[in-house]
Amino acid sequence: MDKSFSQCLICSSSKLTDLPDYQKDHLSKCQGCGFVFSKRIPTEQELVEEYYKYERGFELSPITIKRYNELLDGFETYRQQNNILDVGAGDGHFIEVARKRGWNTYATEFDDKAVDVMKAKGINVVKGGLDIANYEAGMFDVIFWAEVIEHINNPIEELKKFNYLLRKNGIVYVTTPNFNALSHKYLGSKWTIFNYPEHLCYYTPKTIKSLFKNNGFKDIAIQTTGFGPDRFYASLGKSNNNISTEKVRQKTETKLFWKGIKYMSNKLFNLLGIGDALKGTFVKI
């Protein structure tokens, strides 16, 4: 028998409304806080089968490495104990860049293949979920949580762990798809972001701010930026190599005109809250 949640995962309200166009992903919306999540609880077998589909060991784009370094430039302000943790680190690309900059680096990851990749790089990684018993209280300056929160249905439990592991005024940097994205408004349930049981929770600037605020954090910055052509066309069942995401990224790195287009687009996306990517920095208070 399938198990399901009867209360909102972030405010505990029992006033949930099933979303009629999203039955395949079992989505419900909380009438109390507006949070959208999968009411159905996936089995362990469903999750194992889903995550073993992931490809590992790919090369990282130089542009992505540049973006990681820009993020780490911003983290320097918080660098006191010199410890950084990547929760759900994948192949460990980000944490590898951080290590090259002199950080004491730590990582967690569920997938066996990804753990093997990181161990081969010499990264200090623990297989499985985040277990606070593996670390000291208040030892981290920064917790990096990129494209993970949408995969879990226990966000409050994770934030309690973060509170324990971060020093006072340490930060969490989180990224996740934006439920309010322009792509979603156009594509509806066809947007490939909606994919049970891979993705279980869907955040907006309002709901992610509420989640962190109610669990001991204050937002420093919340942004919505970007548009992914690859995912957009895949959602329509099409492909368009002329405007692939990577080609667009290369143009915006090297061509002044396209840099300007990117800058203005992201300004508008952020102002209206409709960028594909939701990015937040939250400080422990």
Of 240, 249, 275, residue with least CA distance to 60: 249
- Indicate the pLDDT class of residue 215, thresholds 50, 70 and 90: very high
What's the burial of 27, exposed, middle or buried (CB within 10 Å: 0-12/13-18/19+)?
buried
**Beta-ladder partners of 196:** none
Average pLDDT over residues 191-201: 96
pLDDT in tens, 244-265: 778 888 888 888 998 999 999 9
- Indicate the pLDDT class of residue 121, thresholds 50, 70 and 90: confident
pLDDT for residue 241 = 59
Share of the chain above pLDDT 90, in %: 79
Q: What is the mean pLDDT of the chain?
A: 93
The dihedrals phi and psi of 127, each to the nearest 5 degrees, come to -80, 140
Average pLDDT over residues 91-119: 94
Of 236, 240, 238, 206, residue with least CA distance to 222: 206
Query: What's the whole-model pTM score?
Result: 0.94
Helices (H) and strands (E) in the chain, counts: 10, 13
Distance of alpha carbon 265 from its chain centroid, rounded?
Answer: 21
How do strand 201-202 and strand 217-225 relate by DSSP bridges? unpaired
Looking at per-residue confidence, does 122 or 180 come out higher? 180
pLDDT in tens, 135-156: 999 999 999 999 999 999 999 9
- Domains of the chain: residue spans and CATH: 58-284 (3.40.50.150)
pLDDT for residue 49 = 80
Distance of alpha carbon 120 from its chain centroid, rounded?
Answer: 25
